A = this chain, B = another copy of it.
Amino acid sequence: MPVVQIEMIEGRTEEQKRQLVKNVTNAVVESVDCKPEAVKIIIREMKKEHYAEGGVLYKDKK
C-alpha cells in the first residue's frame, strides 16, 4: 500500500517513465518489505514555470 507521488519537470519520454515506475517500485519493495503489487505510483509533470526554488521559477534559472 505504499502510495508514491512523483512530481517532475515535463519532457521525459514514455520509456523513461516506464523505467521510472519499474525502478522506483523495486526500490520501495526492497527497502520496506512489501509486495510489488502493493506499490502505487502517480506521476505529475510540471511546466518550467510551475516549479521554484529560492523564490525563482525554474524557467528563470541560469
Contacts and interface: CB of A to CB of B under 8 A. Distances in A.
Nearest to A19: B31
Interface residues of A, number: 51
In this complex, the member of A7, A51, A54 whose beta carbon has the largest number of chain B beta carbons within 10 angstroms is A54
A26 B23 CA distance: 9
28 contacts: A1-B53, A1-B58, A3-B6, A4-B4, A4-B5, A4-B7, A4-B24, A6-B28, A12-B32, A17-B57, A18-B60, A20-B31, A20-B32, A21-B52, A21-B55, A23-B27, A23-B28, A24-B24, A24-B55, A27-B27, A36-B54, A39-B54, A39-B55, A40-B52, A41-B52, A42-B46, A43-B46, A45-B50
